[in-house]
Amino acid sequence: MVKAIHFILKIMLLPVIVALTVIRLFAEFLAGISSVIFRSIAGIFLLTALLCYGFGLDSPGECLQMVLAGFLFYLLPCTVEMVIAGIVLIEECIRSFT
């Protein structure tokens, strides 16, 4: 009886596991591409802020705003990686349940 219920749960949750796997792979692909782009933009923001401050073109407040904008661009791929980790956690919980 318990084995039959366990088998039925496995069959019912199989599409969910497949969907989570496809979503995870797609998110990892997008994270790989976007991390290169966003981290390059973050480097440009930081370099621009340092050079503007060094040559006295902008005030320190404006340079700090550029550094913070670059930091936000740097953090975007990190948040996507956290979402991917959450998807993997859900996927593993479902697999351990069935």
Yes or no: say if 24 and 84 are a contact pair by the CB < 8 Å rule: yes
* 2 or 37: which leads in pLDDT: 37
Yes or no: say if 40 and 76 are a contact pair by the CB < 8 Å rule: no
Average predicted confidence (pLDDT) for the chain: 92
**Structural domain boundaries in the chain:** 19-97
- The distance in angstroms from the start CA to the end CA of the chain is 15
Taking the mean position of all CA atoms in its chain, how far away is CA 3? 38
CA distance 20 to 9: 16
Count of beta carbons in the 10 Å neighbourhood of residue 79: 10
> 13-31, pLDDT tens digit by residue?
999 999 999 999 999 999 9
